Chains A and B, each alone.
Chain A
Amino acid sequence: MSASKKPPVGRRGFLKGAAGAAALVTTAATSATPAAAQEAQAPRNASAPVATQEKDPAGSVEVLTADRPGSDFMVDVIKALGFEIIFANPGSSFRGLHESVINYGGNKKPEFLTCCHEESSVAMAHGYAKIEGKPACVLAHGTVGLQHASMAIYNAYVDRAPVFMVIGNTLDAATRRPGVEWAHSVQDAASLVRDFTKFDDCPLSLQHFAESSVRAYKIAMTPPTMPVLLVADGDVQETPMGAEKPRIPKMTWAAPPQGDTGAVAETARLLVNAENPAIIADRCARTPAGLQHLIELADVLQCAVINQYGRMNFPSRHPLNQTERAGAVIRGADVILGLEMWDFWGTVNNFKDQLHRTSRPISKDGAKMIAISATDLNTRSNYQDFQRFPDLDISMAADSEATLPALIEACKKLITADRKRVFEERGKKLGEAAKDAHDKMLVDASYAWDASPISTARLAMELYGQIKGKDWSLVSNNPWPQRLWNFDKHYQYIGGAGGAGVGYGSPAAVGAAVANKKYGRLSVNIQNDGDLMYAPGVLWTEAHHKIPLLTVMHNNRAYHQEVMHLQRMANRHQRDITTAEVGTTLKNPNIDYGALARSMGVHGEGPITDPKDLGPAIARAMEIVAKGEPALVDVVTQPR
């Protein structure tokens, strides 16, 4: 079989030829006639017969270059939205956009950060958003990339974190390259994650891309903040744009939804008249203002605050912080105000994970329950992250942070001198209780202080001992720091994964560290071993992009939660209870995380098993981080 002498010209080549031919007969100022530009912008599913579309114009010279691909304009849009970072693993379905980001956009604002897995890309954007309060952009293949990314998108969705996804795909079958591009093409790319994204679109023109991008960004940032996704069609990326640039719409932020005036007034009345009101905050503080508002409300009422750590809601050492006494506070509360609580029902009920599932209320009979939650504005059916339905007396479908100022003012108006005296007395007692609880925590931390494997309390305090005088940010979710460290700034804590999908921790820490870098903050990550093993390539990203991040491994050599679950099953079935580590641990061989880090260009030490060696190792790692580079200390620890 002889090869055809006729050059293979598909629709893309034809369109370039048409535009190029037009350019030849026009001035240099307009590289394409309006007609040609219109054709270049024409939808791919135009009704012209296929034979006509693929016909090679006789006598034309194939145009092989383009000065102004559509992807350049996409970069204009991305820049206009203020993105600083693109987290991405490269993929041919967005090769045009990738090249435009680097060469047309100068690889600055946004800068392309090379990730080794799409799940890592999204989790990095998730961590970045937690610090920066706005989304980063993520590029991925519309098929295999999005499949990799899906769990991380789910985490961000459950965690109410904004992420801006742009995925590549080629909708027009006639322009796809044979082979892999077909395997990487999909009719409805976003359908894979539509259950857990807030908005998606598949623009088929640059104007459409511009409008949908601004719309998507606005939707992502309107509470409840969530991931959004746009499909960047391959042809729209690679086809030259016309003479006139499409218009980028003006961004006007939506004011966040506030609670109904009457509901706010009634809530204030209940709180002011209550003897033992309690505020429970989960994903409340979206911004630094949220932290300040909650402090003000607590101070006005002199009431107990329980932090469920979805965000940095409340200072850890504030005298009204009663998190360590959560059970006692809930049992004694006559009014409970829940702010962006993920699980209100599970907070005020006790549920037993035994053979026969039983539950009972732990809150006081007759206690008034009030919820303010933006999640009520965007509840989906399929994925059941919305939890059991709570019995509420007042429910506001609103953003807590936006509602707090009105609630504070409403409370202030109702407080009489008598109530103020009662509040002051209550606050004094709560302060004493908080101090007692803190003293007890210190005693708890002292147990197993010199143990090997090293206790997690010792790990936390060895670390804190060295960072406390610096401008630090804990970019991971660990219980001992929350109990023992002094958190009082919004960026000092980023909350958890949201959907509890393992593999979030290490990339989210990197994303948060990227955001912290420009402020000169010291990012510290207490890293679970099982989580890091999902995508250890994040270490390479840290090294390659010189991201200052101090990682201290909480290496219990197990997926420990699963060890406990397997133990429970064996106990319940009264069978061999010595087998819980089968399939749940990371031993034999033990993983050398220090060596793993070094293999990717990150300073790595360990494994450290003697607690006396830990402090000096952290000090050495901090010297590396101070130079603007990442470092990892592997610590073999107690299970929890």
Chain B
Amino acid sequence: MTRLILLRTILGTILGAACLFAQNAAPAGNAQNGRKLFENYGCYQCHGREAQGGIGTGPRLGPKPLPYAAIQKYIRQPTGQMPPYTAKVVNDKDLADIYAFLQSVATPPPVKNIPLLNN
């Protein structure tokens, strides 16, 4: 009986971790297509064409975006000013491509290496 409980506990832990991983891990996506969708679906309007963010419109999204699950949850049911992007208008595959684009955004050079930002 004890072994059974232990087994169940181990299995539960493994399943739970797997689910958590599934939620946070991004599905494979096509970054090139994601860039096009980022434009076509209007994400660029608030977040900039390079996802750099806009003053007073939307935060920077890449590189190093928030976990996929968090972004997916937020765009489906935003709690702030962002308009909702339901699955009817952006399906999960397209979202995965957009997420791949956000991951692919280049990191800028350090501020100290940009003379105009050291005035």
Contacts and interface: CB of A to CB of B under 8 A. Distances in A.
Given A353-B81, A446-B114, A480 B55 contact: yes
Interface residues of A, number: 43
Contacts of A413: none
Nearest to A463: B116
A449 B50 CA distance: 10
A580 B45 CA distance: 10
A640 interface: yes
Contacts of B88: 574
Interface residues of B, number: 34
A453 interface: yes
Interface string B59-82: 010000000000000000000110
B109 A578 contact: no
Contact of A444 (B41, B60, B85, B119): B60
A282 B91 CA distance: 43
A639 B42 contact: no
A638 B60 CA distance: 14
A479 B54 CA distance: 10
B2 interface: no
B89 A448 contact: no
Given A352-B80, A448-B108, A580 B42 contact: yes
Contacts of A451: 49-50, 52
A552 B92 CA distance: 41
A215 to B, nearest CB: 41
B119 A445 contact: no
Interface string B2-31: 000000000000000000000000000000
Contacts of B42: 563-564, 567, 577-578, 580
B119 A455 contact: no
Contacts of B110: 446
Q: B40, B44, B89, B110 — which one has the most chain A CB atoms within 10 A of its CB?
A: B89
Nearest to A439: B111
Contacts of B55: 479-480, 483, 640
Nearest to B111: A442
A446 B81 contact: no
Contact of A578 (B40, B48, B86): B40
A465 interface: yes
A571 B84 contact: yes
A468 interface: yes
B72 to A, nearest CB: 15
A447 B60 CA distance: 9
A598 interface: no
A639 B54 contact: yes
A465 B108 contact: no
A48 B45 CA distance: 68
A464 interface: yes
A640 B111 contact: no
Contacts of B53: 444, 447
A364 interface: no
B79 to A, nearest CB: 9
A462 interface: yes
Contacts of A480: 55
Contacts of A563: 42, 45
A567 B81 contact: no
Contacts of B49: 448, 451, 453, 638-639
Contact of B108 (A447, A453, A571, A575): A447
Which residue of A480, A567, A571 has the most chain B CB atoms within 10 A of its CB atom? A571
A483 B55 CA distance: 10
Contact of A574 (B56, B89, B108, B114): B89
Given A568-B83, A639-B45, A639-B54, A577 B90 contact: yes
Interface string A457-481: 0100110110010000000000110
Contacts of A443: 111
Given A446-B108, A447-B50, A571-B89, A462 B116 contact: yes
A572 interface: yes
Interface string A477-518: 001100110000000000000000000000000000000000
Interface string B32-46: 000000001110111
Given A446-B108, A447-B52, A564 B46 contact: yes
A638 B116 CA distance: 19
B108 A449 contact: yes
Residue from A442, A455, A577, A578 having most chain B Cβ neighbours under 10 A: A577
Contacts of A16: none
A368 interface: no
A568 B41 CA distance: 11
Contacts of A572: 83-84
B1 interface: no
B2 to A, nearest CB: 52
B104 to A, nearest CB: 14
6 contacts: A446-B108, A446-B109, A447-B60, A480-B55, A484-B117, A560-B45
Interface of A: 352-354, 439, 442-451, 453, 455, 458, 461-462, 464-465, 468, 479-480, 483-484, 560, 563-564, 567-568, 570-572, 574-578, 580, 638-640
Given A443-B111, A449-B109, A640-B55, 10 more contacts: A444-B52, A446-B114, A446-B117, A455-B48, A455-B52, A564-B45, A564-B46, A564-B57, A576-B89, A639-B48
Interface of B: 40-42, 44-46, 48-50, 52-57, 60, 80-81, 83-86, 88-90, 108-111, 114-117, 119
